[in-house]
Structure 1
Amino acid sequence: MIEHLDHKLIKNLNVPFSVNQDMDKSFIAFADVFENCNDPMFIIDLDSCKILKINDEFLKNKELLSDALDYFKNKVEEFGLNQTINFQADGFKIYFNKLYNSDGKALVQILNLEKFNLENKATKSENHFLASLNKNKLLNKIPSGIIFTNDEFESIWYNERIKQLFGREFENRFKFIDAIYIKDISAFWNKINKLKSGLQEISFSCVIRNFSKSKEIFIDATVVKVDSIEKSDNGYVFILKDVTENIHFSEEITKQNLALNQINHELDKFLYSVSHNIRGPVASLEGLLKVIEISDVQTVNELKHHLRLNLRLLNGFVNDISNVATNIHTHVNLKEVNLRDLVEQLILFVNNIYNLKPKVTLKIPNDYSIRTDDDRLEIIIKYILKNSFQYRDTGKDAFKIEVSVTQNEDFHLIEITDNGIGIPEKVKPHIFDMFYRGTELSNGNGMGLYNSREILKKIGGTMNVESKDREWTTAKIYLPINNKE
């Protein structure tokens, strides 16, 4: 079998058999790692299933890999290279890990899973797949960003390119989906559902904000579902390709087009909302006025509460629409803002509306200053605080709010945490959608978090929300350190 394998390999090579020969142009970035990797690697032509190149580690292990390679080729011929391929014999189990493919060729790494079993006995919390990622220097040299998440899209591992694309470091297990902008979020979730149902791979486009460069990066992304190695490995691998330079319009025209699309989108939403958010209260007011015309004084006094409620709903909706328009058309005005003073004023303001006295903890230095647009930041924090008050848990002994701030060299992180009713899992994917109301307790118009994130984009920031149902919610606001108008 060994001689047969050698014969097949040599026969299928169109150039002298050597691991040091020049690689194809699309694979040239991997040449050094390919030749020096501690795991067996090979390049295969996916159409003919011919092995084009192998590295030294492959040669050293060819006796063990003969049967496995035949099994791999059969699977590729039958299903292609879009599914997990494992091979197992007596006391021997390997995983064929596709690292890169281009022009009908694929770069494949062979991982010895039994080897990982032995190495990970001392650290059982690290699974096989992550062990291979952490040991693999190749993935940090690939020009594409690669991030591995769990089923909840929380980051578990990412390569150096991800940090370059975003221009910043991330906290442990950050929510990857909240860190990107997807224009058609509904279509994205439909694709994810298909991926969960058995589709091997999906693609989508998105935009990310590079914090260090204060610019937008246009991304073509591919998502592959990872499973069947171990339960703890289940999740998704996102491969991000920067296609900013491939856009044929100038940067200014691109920004104008994006702004125009956003305005058109907001206009469509506005027209839709008129019938659902204004017509209802107006109809109620008309009905109340007709009742008042035929009622006595006592009944009129009882109806005043309903009049005030409908007027408050109308006024709140008009204010929210005004904030959308103001954010789109008003120039960003940066100034130094004392964060602690601003937060204290807003807590007092919201408390006066709801007439409650929460236990407030402020972990903000007295002289903490942020250079930002104070009007926009005020709207954002006010929205979040209103949510904390509105969705408090009346069954708990005390209503608590904590506001803290930290920073690194790239951004300020403002965290607002409450011990309210939390957010159910099924609601989380939709909380940033315009006009979405995720609970029967909501008496607003579903624009708070949508407005907050849109306003944050205008001043170069972003946000995400983490929550545990019935226990707590934390809104995280990221503002760039070096903000420029």
Structure 2
Amino acid sequence: MIQDLRKDLKRNQKNCSSVKTEMEKGFWTFTDFFENGKNPMFIIDIDTHQYLNVNQQFAKNRVELEKVLAFFETEIIGKDEIQSSQFNQGEKIFLFNPIYQTNRKALIQIIELSNSQPNIDYKNGFQKHPFEDISINKELFNTLPIGLVHTNKEFESVWFNEKFKILFGRGVDKNFNFLDAIYVKNISQFWNKIEKLNEEGGYVNFSFVIHNVKQSDEIFINATAISIGKQHNLGEGFIFILEDRTENMHFSEEITKQNLALNQINHELDKFLYSVSHNIRGPIASLEGLLKVIEISDVQTVNELKHHLRLNLRLLNGFVSDISNVATNIHTHVNLEEVNLRDVLEQMVLFVDNIYDINPKVTFDIADNYKVKTDSDRFGIILKSLLKNSFQYRDSRKDKFEIDIRVTRNEDFHLIELTDNGIGISEKVKPFIFDMFYRGTELSTGNGMGLYNSREVLKKIGGTINIESKEREWTKAKIYLPLKV
């Protein structure tokens, strides 16, 4: 069998490469341990018994190992998993110790034992712990990305690596009780697993939480507990392998949040598409109806219908403009420049006044040369939308239509207040005024995009907006623009 080993290795080179890669992925620091270790080691296919790779010590001692390898191959026939086992050869005892198993492949270490083993009592210092032995490579275990702790049957720690101390975030001494420092959610299930481990050997998996004192945070651990004893050249007890899953837990929470946000976006998109079709379909249907009436009407009637044609075309144009503003705000970069705020305000009032052909009494409380640094196009969209609301929802029962515009500043922001004496906003609709396509009154002839778009545009330039109102008396829009952008 040994003579054919090289042929087997060559024939299974491709398989060997994949196995090494897979094993290094989980325990990357075992590479040096495997290649240059003191003890013979090999990787074997559990199903076919083919040797996929061997280290230097195995190659050097292949003749001496031939008999015990034959015993080992017989022992693992039909086994789903390789357990530790010992074989005698003359005066020597060889321990076949499975270090790692995955995907029906196993990494086996062969340790030569003496027939007269000394008493093992690491706790009281009779013998140095094997993991402290330089031949086992102490540095290897301390640089592993997983925590390792060896405990006795009472779960008092006998040895642990550096990662274990980092996970616990506190000073940890030998004889430290491992179970006292962890929180297991289902403790009865945990003890059932430990009882099974004591009776049947092998290993069990479970999860727990550590409160890391240094980080003041909870650390989520996936653990594997392995029952060990003298057959492993160790005192009876357990090896616990601890894998930090905290980042994965947080990542999972973040994915959940992102999924919720995505669902919200999809909901808004569905609502957006429905409302777009509704807002376009209405004016188009009106135009079609007006055209049919025009076809059968005299000149005088046609002239009377012109007003309705203009109104529907204005609604369509306004809606397309609002949709365009939404797209522009999303996809174009913010272009900051210094502007004269008084000039911008006066221009917007004049623009809206021309649309509605109404002459309100407008009062400005702002310095002539008041400068702000902002995106003038986006700021113009906001002012135009707010002023349109003032004009549209003016109170026709009042003698005068008035708009008061006041600008102040503090150390953090500019405050622009637009107050009108219109119909105001009722308390029951105030919570919804910034929702897309929301219309708070039957007097509305718009598309419900104005305040929604104003808020979204303001977010883009670092500002916020607040609306205050008293029904039937007044409405005040308060725009906050940051001084530093």
TM-score (norm 2): 0.46
- Which structure is richer in relative contact order (CA contacts within 8 A, separation 6 or more)? 1
Q: TM-score with structure 1 length normalisation? A: 0.46
